[in-house]
Amino acid sequence: MTTQVESGPAATPPRAPRSRRPHGATRPHPALLLFPLPALVIYVVFFAIPTVQAVQYAVTDWDGFSATFENVGTENFRRILTADDLFVNALLNNVKFMLVVVVFQTAFALLLAVLLVKNSRGSVLLRALFFFPTILSSVSVAFIWKFIYDPNFGLGNRVLDGVGIDVQLAYLGEASTAIYWVAITQVWFHAGQMMVIFVAGLQAVPAELYEAAEMDGASKWAQFRHITWPMIAPATAIVVAYTTIQSFKAFDLILGLGGNPPKLSMDILSTRIYTSFANSEFGYAAAESLVFMAVIAAIVVAQRRVLKLTQKDV
């Protein structure tokens, strides 16, 4: 006996109930908007407002104390660009200082990073040793190197005597080379800090790329040129930009080595602006500060373009 099954429309399977998201789960809680508030306040108070005030003062002859002042328009900028030999001298010194620091500090930091990239005990210890000068204050570093550069009883000339070089260098006393000796101090001061950035960039390069290159017979130089250098492009951009800004902000190091006010041979833009403020030329110093910011921005933008071109060609 066979049992017949009635044919009819196929029964639709029951739908799974939709999971309802709690109300407001996709929106951040309003209280979270308060977290960036402290940083925003600091930015507005210490950067945005002073920048606006600097623009206002830059077109005046305000001395910083008087209740009244006159609007002089672009006269301050005209004087800076065409009639201020001291500002031009400070700018040239700063460019020399920057070129030496950027080239040698970047190269030295990269060399240290390549040699100490492995996380062995010895490498970690040496990294800490090279990073140590960074935690010192600029004034402390200035006094240490002022002793080294002393022409009479300094460590620099004693080392030269010890290795048989009978030369008594004046170091900071020689106007033509003083800024370069300060640049060497800056390199010693911050190379370890830049080394840490390069180490992080090198450790992020996949090891498989080097293994494949070795299988293809690529030399160490070829691996560095075609793998390491392009892969650490972000780290290099950070190091070069930060080093450039540091070289323009070496205010306390210059004052520590060159005195206050520093000698003309060691005067840079930050110390020149400080001298203008000290001479109660607040309006003129504000104009110098704006030119100072424009110079740094132009140099950093140019450096980034050069880095992109060099790493695009490899």
- List, for residues 51-69, the tens digit of each pLDDT value: 898 899 999 988 888 888 8
pLDDT tens per residue, range 1-11: 455 545 555 55
- Spans of all domains in the chain: 75-313
Burial of 7 (C-beta count, 10 Å sphere; 0-12/13-18/19+):
exposed
pLDDT-above-90 percentage for the chain = 41
Output the pTM of the full model. Answer: 0.80
The residues pairing with 71 across neighbouring beta strands, listed in sequence order, are 60
How far is it, in rounded angstroms, from Cα 95 to Cα 77? 20
Beta bridge pairs of residue 60? 71
CA torsion angle for 51, 54, 58, 63 (degrees, to 10)?
A: -170
CA distance 212 to 207: 9
Segment 186-199 shows an average pLDDT of 94
- At residue 110 the predicted structure's pLDDT band, cuts being 50, 70 and 90, is very high
Longest dimension (CA), the chain: 124
CA-closest candidate to residue 188, choices 109, 261, 125: 109
| Across 192-221, average pLDDT | 90
Dist. CA 267–CA 84, nearest whole Å? 14
Q: Write down the architecture of domain 75-313 according to CATH.
A: Orthogonal Bundle (1.10)
> What pLDDT digit, counting tens, does each position of 148-189 carry?
998 888 888 888 888 888 788 888 888 889 999 999 999 999
